[in-house]
Structure 1
Amino acid sequence: MQINNSDKNDDYKYYSNTHLEYVNNNINTESNYFSCVWDEILKDINIHNLLDMGCGTGIFSCNLKSRISGKLIGVDGSNYGLEKAKEKGFDELYRVEDFCSQSLPLANESVDFVLCKDVFEHLLDPLHLLLEIQRLLTPGGYLLTHVPNHFPINGRLKFIFTNKIDTFNYFPGSNAWNFPHIRFYNYESLLDFLAQANFKLVENYSGFFPKLPILDKLLRYVIPKYLTRKLVNSNPSQFAEGLTVLVKKE
């Protein structure tokens, strides 16, 4: 278990521990909004070694430890996050300060599955990290990534009236000049980005994160879930709050 020995309560340079604490204290590890994606993936894919890249406190992958056959590995820049992930039973943990320039401390082709959730939108050079993930994945290995979609139809309507880039109030304490998200994706640009490292689309799971215009909550109850997912998957850029795709290393 490799964790930097500096004060675990120090804020990570690029991301406040306040955000990590909120997620850790308010999201259920066993059943949370991302669990539905894992349930679908594990129907068809047997995972051996899983890397949670940008794991934070491990909240979105720790419950997979009993569902994979190998190691659960985490990489993050926050000592606080890594200590919490250690408490959740991760097999290996590594601290990397800068995802845009540093190599990941893992061997080539050493894992067969990578989760990279809510990371790429924070990086000045997301391609560096993507190529590192490609390096350490086995041939035919999988990358599951999730990024926010700030500007579906709902987001664009909110932007017109508020002129706030944080259309869904992800970081209420931040201003435009220090907003943690610095890269913005729609569905098409996300796939184009992933193709730069020769990843090919396997499945689109964006339908699990609908953001339907105007009557969002009402429509979720009126329209059956499978039809909602079908609508959102048909045009994630317009109707999904989160863009979630599974891709495969060629």
Structure 2
Amino acid sequence: MTAPAGSHPQRSPTGRTAPQEPRPGLRDFYENPAVPVASGTERALRQARMLAAALGPVGPGRPPATVLDIGCGDGSAAATAARVLAGHRIVGVDWSQDALRRAAPRIPRVVRGELTDGGLPFASAGADAVLFSEVIEHLVDPDSALEELHRVLRPGGHLLLSTPNLAAWYNRGLLLAGVQPVFSEVSLRRIHGRPGRQVVGHLRLCTARALTGFVAASGFEVVRVAGAPFHGVPRPLRPLDRALCRVPSLASILLVHARRV
């Protein structure tokens, strides 16, 4: 996953504003090999199919598209997408060196890049599509991140964003019972007050309404919102979880397809 984007600036002794480096605790957390960097095959497949429908097949008069998988993690999602996006050029981008080492065997091209400081190592308007999967919930400054994605996409280029849903069907019940929602965390060290055993570094969560409003305000036109299941749902409840994907506002995972205005 990419680094938590942009921290608040600090004033230097000269009065100039200088960007603050990410906190060492966050950097250490995301470079820890024990932190999960994959987010589910079914989500990746649904997202890739949405992008494939938008790009169309490679053929006469339709050259391969350049697709940046920003926050590629271990490359498993990009490898799943590559089977659906045959002929298109996928480039994996991540901030974590550990993630890139794991992604390299799965993706032909991997690049280290950050959503802060100097930005992503790509020219403006140089990409046809961006996959931004399970990243935004880890960011300190999502506004700057969306600005950077807007910069690297060509006009009309496609953004495929996915993130856990704060208002997932089971989270509504958990909140009514006074239980911390799934996906949300209050510590990077241990779980407090929610189901699950693994800390994954989520800093923020969105509902479908909040997410689409944020994406639209960042210079994108929202084309479609869909749902995807969560691989961590207990097995007896998985059929219900898949069925509720038809109602994105209740789904475990939100999938947003948007285009750069």
TM-score by length of 2: 0.70
Counterpart position of 1:242: 253
Amino acid at match of 1:209: P
Letter aligned with residue 73 of structure 2: G
- Report whether the alignment pairs 1:140 with 2:151: no
**How far has the Cα of 1:63 moved from its partner?**
3.5
Structure 1 CA distance for aligned equivalents of residues 245 and 181 of structure 2: 26
> Partners of 1:58 and 1:112 in 2: how far apart?
19
**Distance change >3 Å, CA 220–CA 114, structure 1 → 2:** closer
Q: Determine helix, strand or coil for the equivalent of 1:247.
A: strand
- The one-letter amino acid of 1:76's match is D
- After superposition, the C-alpha distances for 1:63-97 in whole angstroms (9 at most, x for unaligned) are 3346344432122121111012111133241243x
1:49 touches 1:111 (CA, 8 Å); kept in 2?
yes
CA distance in structure 1 between the aligned counterparts of 2:192 and 2:99, rounded to whole angstroms: 25
Which stretches in structure 2 are left out of the alignment for 5+ residues?
1-25, 57-63, 194-198
Q: Aligned to 1:42, what secondary structure does the other structure show?
A: helix
For 1:187, the equivalent position in structure 2 comes to 208
SS of match in other structure, 1:61: helix
- SS of match in other structure, 1:87: coil
Per-residue Cα deviation, 1:212-238 (whole angstroms, up to 9, x for no partner)? 9xx9546469xxx5xx544x14xx1xx
| Aligned Cα root-mean-square deviation (Å) | 3.4
Query: 3-state SS of the aligned residue for 2:100?
Result: helix
1:49 and 1:156, CA in 2 relative to 1: closer, same or farther beyond 3 A? same
Tell me: CA distance 1:241–1:64, structure 2 relative to 1, closer, same or farther (3 Å).
Answer: closer
1:22-33 → structure 2 map (5 Å cutoff): 23=38, 32-33=42-43
Aligned pair partner of 1:75 in 93, 96, 103: 93
1:1-250 matches, within 5 Å, as 12-15=27-30, 16-20=32-36, 23=38, 32-46=42-56, 48-65=65-82, 67-96=85-114, 99-161=115-177, 163-166=179-182, 174-176=190-192, 180-206=201-227, 208-209=228-229, 216-217=237-238, 219=240, 228-230=244-246, 232-233=247-248, 236=249, 239-250=250-261
State the Cα distance separating 1:123 from its structure 2 match. 1.0
Q: How many residues align?
A: 218
State the percentage of identical aligned residues.
Answer: 22
How far apart, in 1, do the equivalents of 2:131 and 2:168 lie? 24
Q: Structure 2: how far apart are the matches of 1:64 and 1:154?
A: 28
Structure 1 gaps, min length 5: 1-10
Amino acid at match of 1:202: V
Query: More displaced, 60-69 or 192-201?
Result: 60-69
More helix by share: 1
Moved over 4 A (4+): 176-179, 215-221
CA 1:103/1:244 → structure 2, altered by over 3 Å: closer, same or farther? same
Output the CA distance in 2 between the equivalents of 1:103 and 1:188.
28
How far 1:156 sits from its partner (Å)? 2.6
